[in-house]
Amino acid sequence: MNENNKIHDVAIVGYGPVGQTLAILLGRMGYSVAVYERWQSLYPLPRAVFHDHEIRRVFRMMGLEDELQTISQPSACYQWFNADWKVLVEIDWSAESISDGPFGYLFNQPALEAILDRRAKAIANVEIHQGWELMALSQDAQGCDLRLQRTPQNGKAEPGEERQVRARYVIGADGANSLVRRQCGIDWQDLGFQEDWLVVDLQPKPGVQLDVPDIGQWCNPARPTTMVPGGPGYRRWEFMRLPHETLEDLQNLDKVWELLSPWVTPDTATLVRHAVYQFRSRIAETWRHGRVLLAGDAAHLMPPFMGQGMCSGIRDAWNLSWRLDLIFKGLCSERLLDSYTLERKPQIRAVIDASVAMGKVVCVADPQKAAERDAAFLSGEVPPLPPFPGLVDGAVLKDPRTGAAVGAAGSLGVHGEVEHDGSIQRYDDAFGRGFHLLSVGDDPLAGLSPAQQALLEHLQVKSVRLSLDGAPGTCRDLSGKYHDFLREAGLQAVLVRPDFYVYGGVSDLGELPQLLDALRRDLDIQQARGGAPRLNQPLAAQV
């Protein structure tokens, strides 16, 4: 069946949190989105349990904050213990982040997916097709063609039930075994980490108080173990498979309760699920193949020790959404998608490397090596973890001589409380998503040429002058975060992208024209006659 020759702006293959998020983002922008998922219903069991402050800010921008509060809880301090319960590492995930709130949150993934599912299905221009599997994918200069087949229902597939779909772009968010990635012939690089872990989710019974660290890694060579909340009302344990054990050993129900017995029993908790997972580290060679792009586990896999698996996929969706928006509006050429891999892959590779390094600390089953590790940590010989990586390439301001990001370029922008038009709000609630020119002092627009002002207008850049005292014509920086950031970076103004990352900054407003010229080049802004950027309408607006 052909869908009446309809051409979607985007077809998304895969309907986990990454596909759901991208469908909502693009759908709310007005684009025609079709999502195809081989399973007929959402996966009902827990998987991811952590998201960080950056992802929480994304979800807030999607209008999910009130619902998220019912299914998540702020993180506590993340502690690593040796076999004798001495603290080796402490990471304060409860501390205030630059995004306005604690560093991290624990949540229940099925509950999150249910929220995202309701939001996606409420958008008129978003179609959700569950129970359809991708069979073939091809593309030409104008778009992509997908051949899909209905998956079996009640154990039997209806013969001949297929459909042909055409879309301007396809996003493969279809997991680690991505058929989209394989159809494109994209290499899948193994980075070397591989360990089997038993993952157990349960619900403590009413009134039960468990004597366990809130979030902890028990680096015990006799059995490396993870303990973490699974969102309100849930707990998770993860147990590493030891060299002498088989996968069948770990999946035995009696073995599960034996491993849990120091902390919980069938009398004190209800088992939700248990499954053995192989923690891997892999990354796709490129995340773009013409009009096909990869996101989430289709593009990268990492061990869970930093809690960044789902977070990284949501960042992919957030990054893609603003790029596709500019392309659909005719402001930028498709070359803007070339920098998607340039930006995301180095950041993800750094996160994978850090996750693998953490995993190598945890996954030590040899007592002698564990003792050497403990001694190094307890003596203070091991340096602290590096800061979370930013962007080092792509659409960020770079030194033309070295190609390296300049100053604050590529760092995650701060977020805090402001007073605007007599109302106290979070900055995002006051000004919304988009490009933002944040400055202190004089009006930054006063010295710009008509062409530079036209660039700001067509990119819909919001110019926000900040002050600490709420002077006329300014937005009061109640949190002080913006002034602290600018002062520490030695800047008078920064240009922030729609995904909260800093494009670049200037120490003097007289340098702003050069910054905008660089932005025009990096975004490959399309020019019309007269020098003004060209603005077209998305297909969804033409239907």
Write out pLDDT tens, residues 404-423.
999 999 999 999 999 999 99
Residue with token string 């580290």: 281
pLDDT < 70 positions in the chain:
1-4, 154-160, 526-543
| Beta strands, E only, 220-299 | 225-229, 235-240, 269-284, 288-289, 292-294
Helices (H), 363-432: 367-378, 427-431
CA–CA distances in Å: residue 233 to residues 178, 216, 393: 33, 17, 42
Give the pLDDT confidence score for residue 155 in this predicted structure. 61
Q: Identify the pLDDT of residue 183.
A: 96
Sketch out the chain's domains with CATH numbers. Answer: 2-72+106-189+281-351 (3.50.50.60), 390-543 (3.40.30.120)
What digits encode the pLDDT tens for the residues 160-171? 589 999 999 999
What pLDDT is attached to residue 5? 73
The 10 Å CB-count burial string (b at 16+, else e) for 121-158 is eebebbbbeebbbbeebebeeebbbbebbbeeeeeeee
Angstrom CA distances, 168 to 64, 121, 164, 400, stand at: 29, 21, 14, 34
DSSP state string for 174-211: --TT-HHHHHTT--EEEEEEEEEEEEEEEEEPTT----
Contacts of 359 by beta carbon, 8 Å cutoff, 6+ apart: 193, 195, 279, 303, 305
The whole-number pLDDT of residue 158 equals 60
Measured CA to CA in angstroms, residue 347 lies from 229, 344, 388 at distances of 27, 5, 9
Identity at 301, one-letter amino acid code: L
- pLDDT at residue number 401: 94
3-class secondary-structure state, position 466: strand
Give the list of residues 6+ apart from residue 245 with CB closer than 8 angstroms, or none: none
Cα gap 498→413, rounded to integer Å: 10
Q: With a threshold of 0.75, does the pTM exceed it?
A: yes
> What is the distance between the terminal CA atoms of the chain, rounded to a whole angstrom?
21
In whole angstroms, what is the distance from residue 527 CA to residue 536 CA? 12
Residue 454's φ and ψ, nearest 5 degrees, are -65, -35
